[in-house]
A and B are shown apart, each in its own frame.
Chain A
């Protein structure tokens, strides 16, 4: 089978799974919203303070909720032997990994973007800042999905997957966090933030080119 055929087959299957197992995308979304509610309770509900910390808070909540869903990304396929069969049949794992990552983004990235107008109400963001939040999430969440898929693939057969995944992947999220929250902050002051968006887009392009290769390698070494 070619890469494209494997991609299509895997992607269709993942979409069906997302439609049937709604908890897979609802739970990370709820987690995201709950974290955002915790912050005003923790630091106090002064509108100015909330507006100031909003960029960082939103992005940290997004990092964590994408990470939460990532652990199970390949686990089912690993346990029931699908991955083993794919490796044994020498079918292209690159198409499989890309389809998994794309579906992972649909499940854990896209819902965050759709729910982000709610944030404007919670954290008192201006319209400009909200636009920046949506744009950075649009560029940033695919990057989150790529990196968390890499972490999930690396820790696939590890004994203590969950916490280890967070440990090795969170440091790699740091550049994204810096540029994304800087963009939102600039926007909330009414300044231009195209430079940050361009950097985010560049990081996404690099990751899109390289990460699937690493994911493929990581999957193989965990199965083989």
Chain B
């Protein structure tokens, strides 16, 4: 596997690959997200109990799922960075952390907006809400640590250690908080059981989940490319690339 991955550790090769992926993922994610949200918000039947306000699920659930998904990807990148000392994997952590933080914020905000009409309160100290909030703190911690050093390399390495420590801690935090307090409704879609949701509502939700994943991929490509340019600014190929871009712009 490493032989296959090895060329991508080279920033220049990775840069070109990311550019290719970004060109596909960006438009695709926009189309899929538009499809999912328009279908979900406009054309699905209203819930018999929650009325129209349940429709926020099409933003809330994908953001919540992928806030954790982003953390998992970040931890994988951190692991690669620590074990094989791949520089580009370290930069990927910095590229992903803010995306994850924003997804977490979206999940918290939409959750609060959904909670107000349904539970009658913006915020409860419920297990899932609390672990999502802690997840936000973990993302912010990684970001803060990465930017805290005069030497950028040290920051990248320290952030990768923290991301790995966080992923060991995340299940412990999750279960301890769960054990501590629970009000949130149980999971609506699981792999193993038949989903407790009508197909007419489920499909747009699944499309939105896919859309959030694609958007995460596209944004990661964009941010990682920027990071590569910043870190490699002194290299000839970057200068040449920038000149070409300027040329094309004129």
Q: How many residues of B contact A (CB 8 A)?
A: 30
A47: min CB distance to chain B, Å: 25
| Complex Cα spacing A165 to B58, Å | 37
The closest CB in chain A to the CB of B159 belongs to A154
Q: A171, B165: Cβ atoms under 8 Å? A: no
Binary contact readout B140-173 vs A (1 if CB under 8 angstroms, 0 otherwise): 1110110011110011011001101110110011
Instruction: Tell yes or no: A164 within 8 A of B by CB.
Output: yes
Residues of B within 8 A of A158 (CB): 145, 148-149, 155, 158
Number of A-B residue pairs, CB cutoff 8 Å, is 74
Instruction: Tell yes or no: B237 within 8 A of A by CB.
Output: no
Task: Scan residues 181-195 of chain A and give those whose CB is less than 8 A from a CB of chain B.
Answer: 182
Given the contacts A174-B176, A175-B172, A210-B168, A155 and B145 also touching, CB distance less than 8 Å: yes
Residues of A within 8 A of B161 (CB): 154, 214, 217-218, 221
Given the contacts A150-B165, A159-B149, A168-B141, A218 and B158 also touching, CB distance less than 8 Å: yes
| Complex Cα spacing A170 to B158, Å | 17
Q: B177, A171: Cβ atoms under 8 Å? A: no
Instruction: Tell yes or no: B82 within 8 A of A by CB.
Output: yes
Given contacts A175-B177, A179-B176, 11 further A-B contacts (CB under 8 A): A154-B161, A155-B145, A157-B150, A157-B151, A158-B145, A158-B158, A164-B148, A171-B134, A174-B134, A178-B179, A222-B158
Interface residues of A (CB under 8 A from B): 150, 154-155, 157-160, 164, 167-168, 170-172, 174-175, 178-179, 182, 199, 203, 210, 214, 217-218, 221-222
